[in-house]
Amino acid sequence: MTTRQRNTMWVYLSVAVIGLLGTAYFNVRGVLDSQGNVFSAWFANPATSSLSVDLLATASAASIFMVLEGRRLGMRWYWLYVIGAFVTAVGFTFPLFLAMRERRVGP
């Protein structure tokens, strides 16, 4: 692994940690504040609807990329990143996938 690849991997991992911590905090708050009806808040007004559609489109593209790229590179467990995106957040799993992809690609 080159220095550039190692640095890139660490940047992706940093973004993954930020994505995990930031989304976990607001996900927990959302569940507690909405009495379990968190999905109705996704489309509560035009601003959140726009962000929700944006997130869903990005998550879909990221999921397709993770499956195709994971298969192409022969990465093990690549499908866990897609499942993890629905359990945690795509803001965590996609940068984590990119970091592991960077390790896999090599020099």
For the stretch 37-67, pLDDT in tens is 777 788 888 998 999 999 999 999 999 999 9
pTM (predicted TM-score): 0.89
2: its two tokens? 């080159």
- Mean pLDDT of all residues in 3-17: 96
pLDDT band at 106 (very low <50, low <70, confident <90, very high): confident
What's the CA angle centered on 104, arms 83 and 86, to 5 degrees? Answer: 10
- For residues 62-72, one letter each, b for 16 or more C-beta atoms within 10 angstroms of the residue's C-beta and e for the rest, the string is bbeebeebbee
Whether 13 shows a pLDDT value over 70: the answer reads: yes
Return the ∠ at Cα 82 (arms to 102 and 32), rounded to 5°. 120
Q: Where are the alpha helices (DSSP H) in 1-107?
A: 3-33, 46-73, 78-87, 90-105
Domain count, the chain: 1
pLDDT at 9: 96
Q: What is the mean pLDDT of residues 85-90?
A: 92
Domain that holds residue 14: 3-105
pLDDT at 36 over 70: no
Greater pLDDT, 50 or 36: 50
